[in-house]
A and B are shown apart, each in its own frame.
Chain A
Amino acid sequence: MWGSNARNAHPIFFHHILKGIHNGAKLYVVDPRRSETAEWADLWLGLDVGTDIPLASAIGRVIIEKGLANQAFIDHSTENFEAYRRSVDEWTLEKAEAVTGVPAVAIEELAVAYASAGSAQLCWTLGITEHHNATDNVLALINLSLLTGHVGRYGSGLVPVRGQNNVQGGGDMGALPNKLPGFQDVADDSLRGKFEAEWGYPVPAENGWHLTQMFEAMEHGDLKALYVIGENPAQSEADVGRARSLLESLDFMVVQDLFMTATAELADVVFPAAADWCESEGTVTSSERRVQRVRRALDPPGSAKTDIEIISLLAGALGHGWGTPTAEEVWDECRRVSPMHAGMSYRRLEELGGIQWPCYDEDHPGELFLHSRLWEEPVGGPLAPFTPVEHSPPVDLLDADFPLRMTTGRRLDGYNTGVQSGGFDSPIRIGASIDLSPEDAADLGVSDGETVRVASRRGGIEAPVRVDDGLRPGLVFMAIHNPDDADVNQLTIEEWDAKSGTAEFKATAVSISRLG
């Protein structure tokens, strides 16, 4: 598990990890903090924030040097290996230890264990992707899986663990700036034509904006109206002070949500929405690509309506008579245009307890894992490319004024900006805090519970200190669940990865000072 505190952030998923551990699997955790997940590890590697690429490169170098690379797989299924080999050559154990802080012996141990395992999974979450070079970080891990052949086989693979029950489904349904449902390229004329024929209406051929670009467009005055569904950017965006003023500068904003969020407070119109998991019919898709049915157990309160009803009514108000489609009718439309969903009738989803895409027809059982084509003789489709990547340290540099590296994350009883979890009591609720190592707390002369000022180059907030021995000197942590009490994103940097659009939430330079 690399950059993932799944014990807290994905507790149900982690139960399955625990079953694996119980059955003899070994767990290695790469995380700057000795997190609750790291506590379960056979080996924890505590790297410096933002040094994932040097660590991954050193692991790759050890694997090659020790002759543990899966040469048969590399020759058969991949390309560009030579370039990769050259790119990791500089990352000797000595250099990697100097840059990442992880002892060479630990790097070597992980490398040998990963390469020698009969099957191995590489799981990651936002510790990899919430960086200015998120995509390169992911590619560095993909390179390791190609090097060892731990991909496309039962029990081996690459697992980006999703943060919500239906993040995967959102992407699958085309909630991406460049894709139509089923990951079909907007720019592809024939694919787009299929949708235009189904819908009887032209679809723009240009990519849309992703979230970060939308805020830039607001800044430039190119984006004036916003329709926000189930998102709380007024609290979740990096450098949130700037984000909030941009939202306030819009001509018009509609928010559709279960709750009166901080974003909804800024809206011109709010559509009260039904909860998808208990007040609506439909499907969700989990991290393992499994499409599952959800059913209405309760009627929505007051005037709240399901997302399908709201969108259909909105279409009607805009002059398009969509009628009142059922969730199944909407789904069947999706099945007609998205080949990977074609075989998933409601009847089959019910009978099989969910189906993993792709599922091309009603005889297809779905796929347990992806990329098995790489093991076919000959390889089905294009070879998998190694992609050499370069180390690029966090943008927000440490210096004498901002000497501490702050990273962010989740706690077990909190959920994102706290919209859904903050309203409930929890016996393990800690509340807002700035977490420090015992050594830093002693150096700063602050004690547990004492409120301090935390400042970055973008802003400052106050929060009580919590001493956490999972942190080391120089590394501090804040959970993201308490924007009303300690608005952590006032501190974070809006530097983002050009390829994925993700901001560098995980690496902020801060200072901490006593009050008064």
Chain B
Amino acid sequence: MDLKFLDADPTDAERASVDGLLGAPSSAWEGAQLRTAADLRMVRGGRSMREQRHMLLPALARLQSDIGWVSEGGLNYVCRRLWVPPAEAYGVASFYALLSTEERPSTVIHACDDVGCRDFGSADLIAGLEAEIGPEGVANGDRMWLTSPCLGQCDRAPAAFLQNAGRSDSVVTNASTQSTLKAIASHPVPPADPATPQVSGDRGSLRVLSRVGLVNPVSLEDYLAHGGYATLESVLSDDPSLVVDEVKRSNLRGRGGAAFPTGIKWEGVAAQPDGPKYLVCNADESEPGTFKDRVVMESDPYALLEAMTYAAFAIGAHEAYIYVRGEYPVATARLATAITQAKEANLLGRNVLGTGFHLDIGLRRGQGAYICGEETALFNSIEGYRGEPRQKPPFPTTHGLFGRPTVINNVETLVNVVDIVTNGGEAFASRGTPDSTGTRLFCLSGHVGQPGVYEHEFGVTVRQVIDAAGGAIGDVQAVLLGGAAGSFITEEHFDVPLTFEDTRSAGISLGSGVVMIFNETVNLTDIGRRIAQFFRDESCGQCVPCRVGTVRVEEALARHLNNGHEAVDASLIEEIDRAMKDASICGLGHTAATAVRSLLDQGLIGGPA
């Protein structure tokens, strides 16, 4: 394997942490402290060792979570256990924001200063943390604080995420300095209250959120009592192609942003020759302003498992993964509980309900990388590599996870499948418009009466969505539609029907369903610069247009902010945007300047002061 390890040794605690995940090492060649006579006469290795690479990120995350950082000795021990070169493991460890290769105190507070919190309390929180703890990034005793990109809690801004070494991580919402410091002191850490979804109008019209807020999310029994898994046995006893047909009939399109027809994707993977196939649920919800998948996972986790069972059955997969955002500890815990209970009830595992179908669902926790929401970057992340996107083609339907045919869908897309399978594709398609069937989840935040997740049929307008959430607060300057990768819209677009086709022809994007309202009190130049900073931070750096372009966009806005009498060099940003759209490997680069350009193009920012 040409492996050259470091000389650094793990501490006993680090060794115990890694062994807690991987089990005890089987020989000195896997890091055991003593060489036995047998070790010097035979070693099993090769493929069986190399195929453990996918445990690299979980092992590093385990060290981070137990010890508080990934030391050289800890990293080296993980490498010995998994036969991964330390240089590569370091490349992985240093890729993720939640993993630290430098020593950190036992509590690290990540205080959101992103667009959803920035004008909604985070300045006070950060000033308070600075006063109590000291400057950003400097340890003070057992704690330090850092600013963070969006934590997906925009309906309850401001938010902080706490990494607690040796204890579970936690989230503080509607955070004040005092409530945040109090959360550090609590033993054990209290779980954050899951968000209650906001429902406007008739609850009976809900499809995706129908059980949210009603069902007990840690009780399989309660899910069953609410009609969960009602059709599972009959579906699994029939032909898998019937599920694909039903999903095609529904004309369900992906909710992750690309709006690809789900049934076509499934059909493509189902048609691949036999051999391992995978189903992956993209729950790495990191688009600033987005929190709908979190609400579904926290409040109705079994629905996701049920949907994934149908999807896996339809495509012939027996292994599935949920890749859940690292900053979502409650959702992670709820899904873990749900998987355990579903296994015990034989709704997962070998021979599900005696139908002969097998399915295991693995839960993987992201470690703070927006780019891992890109499907091929997510595969690399699961496989134990840096979360860098791959060139496409080949597409996941033929070369996905572990190079095998893979269906990857996000949480919202999958949960729709429960409704489709239970009530039929035709009923599903009767809602919305012919090209945008069904309902859509919207994440309302900012200057709005009642922030939260709302479910509306496709075709609703921005004005209606805002009104349903209690109306805007103050005079609306602009609405960020679709997230940081989306665009700012004004009055002119408030009556565009929100469908895939209408938004496309209006030159705007539904994205991940973000509707973030900014009133006259907000400095949009500052918001634009924060978005530019976000993409500069989150660019994986693999391809030059994005790595360089995101820096240049932020610089152009920073110059304007620092030196307000000069106009923003809009033509420079336009040129960079074109280069990133043309030449970036993935969607991050393609959309990194879209929101900033929408501000400039509409004259919302950029003129001389």
Measured CB to CB, the residues of A under 8 A from B are 7, 21, 26-27, 34, 36, 38-46, 101-103, 105-106, 437-439, 469, 472-473
Contact = CB atoms under 8 A, between A and B. Distances in A.
The 4 A-B residue pairs whose C-beta atoms are closest, nearest first, are A42-B46, A472-B40, A106-B42, A39-B1
A15 to B, nearest CB: 12
Given A26-B47, A39-B1, A106 B41 contact: yes
A38 B49 CA distance: 13
A102 B42 contact: yes
9 contacts: A40-B1, A41-B45, A41-B46, A44-B45, A101-B41, A437-B40, A438-B35, A472-B40, A472-B41
Contacts of B35: 438-439, 469
Contacts of B41: 45-46, 101-103, 106, 472
Given A41-B43, A43-B46, A473-B40, 4 more contacts: A42-B44, A44-B45, A101-B41, A102-B42
Contacts of B44: 42-43
Contacts of A101: 41
B86 to A, nearest CB: 15
B83 to A, nearest CB: 9
Contact of A44 (B3, B43, B47, B48): B43
B102 interface: no
Given A39-B1, A439-B35, A46 B40 contact: yes
Given A36-B2, A39-B3, A439-B35, A21 B42 contact: no
A489 to B, nearest CB: 27
B1 A44 contact: no
Given A36-B2, A39-B3, A40-B1, A103 B46 contact: no
Interface string B22-63: 000000110000010010111111111000000000000000
Nearest to A107: B42
Given A26-B47, A439-B35, A46 B1 contact: no
A315 to B, nearest CB: 49
A472 B37 CA distance: 8
A45 B42 contact: yes
B2 A44 contact: no
Contacts of B28: 469
Nearest to A105: B42
Contacts of B29: 34
Nearest to A39: B1
A7 B48 CA distance: 20
Interface residues of B, number: 16
Nearest to A439: B35
A469 B47 CA distance: 21
Given A103-B38, A439-B35, A43 B43 contact: yes
Contacts of B3: 39
Contacts of B38: 103
B48 A42 contact: yes
Contacts of A39: 1-3, 45
B77 to A, nearest CB: 16
Contacts of B46: 21, 26-27, 40-43
Nearest to B48: A42
Contacts of A34: 29, 40, 43
Interface of B: 1-3, 28-29, 35, 38, 40-48
Contact of A7 (B2, B40, B42, B43): B2
A214 to B, nearest CB: 40
Contacts of A7: 2
A39 B1 CA distance: 5
A21 B40 CA distance: 24
A43 B42 contact: yes
A479 B43 CA distance: 24
A21 B3 CA distance: 17
B323 to A, nearest CB: 26
A34 B39 CA distance: 10
Contacts of A21: 46-47
Nearest to B29: A34
Nearest to B2: A36
A42 B43 CA distance: 8
B80 to A, nearest CB: 11
A109 to B, nearest CB: 9
A291 B41 CA distance: 40
Nearest to B47: A42
A106 B29 CA distance: 16
Contacts of A42: 44-48
A111 B190 CA distance: 58
Contacts of A38: 43
Contacts of A473: 40
Contacts of B2: 7, 36, 39
A482 B48 CA distance: 37
A473 B40 CA distance: 9
Contacts of A102: 41-42
Nearest to A438: B35
Contacts of A437: 40
A392 to B, nearest CB: 22
Contacts of A26: 46-47
A19 to B, nearest CB: 14
Nearest to B40: A472
A473 B36 CA distance: 11
Nearest to A34: B43
B73 to A, nearest CB: 18
A21 B49 CA distance: 13
B383 to A, nearest CB: 15
A46 B47 contact: no
B529 to A, nearest CB: 45
B41 to A, nearest CB: 5
Contacts of A438: 35
Q: Which of B28, B35, B40, B44 has the most CB of A within 10 A?
A: B40
A471 to B, nearest CB: 8
B42 A46 contact: yes
Nearest to B44: A43
A102 B43 CA distance: 11
A41 B3 CA distance: 13
A289 B308 CA distance: 55
Contacts of B40: 34, 46, 437, 472-473
A176 B29 CA distance: 44
A472 B2 CA distance: 19
Nearest to A471: B40
A26 B41 CA distance: 19
Nearest to B46: A42
A21 B48 CA distance: 12
A282 to B, nearest CB: 35
Q: Which of B1, B2, B42, B43 has the most CB of A within 10 A?
A: B42
Nearest to B38: A103
Q: Which of A27, A41, A439 has the most CB of B within 10 A?
A: A41
Nearest to A475: B40
A90 to B, nearest CB: 21
Contacts of A43: 42-46
A94 B177 CA distance: 71
A102 B41 CA distance: 6
B235 to A, nearest CB: 34
B79 to A, nearest CB: 14
Nearest to A470: B40
Nearest to B1: A39
Contacts of A46: 40-42
Nearest to B43: A44
Contacts of B43: 34, 38, 41, 43-44
Contacts of A105: 42
Contacts of B42: 43-46, 102-103, 105-106
B38 to A, nearest CB: 6
A204 B357 CA distance: 78
A42 B47 CA distance: 6
Contacts of B1: 39-40
A469 B48 CA distance: 21
A21 B50 CA distance: 11
A7 to B, nearest CB: 7
B482 to A, nearest CB: 41
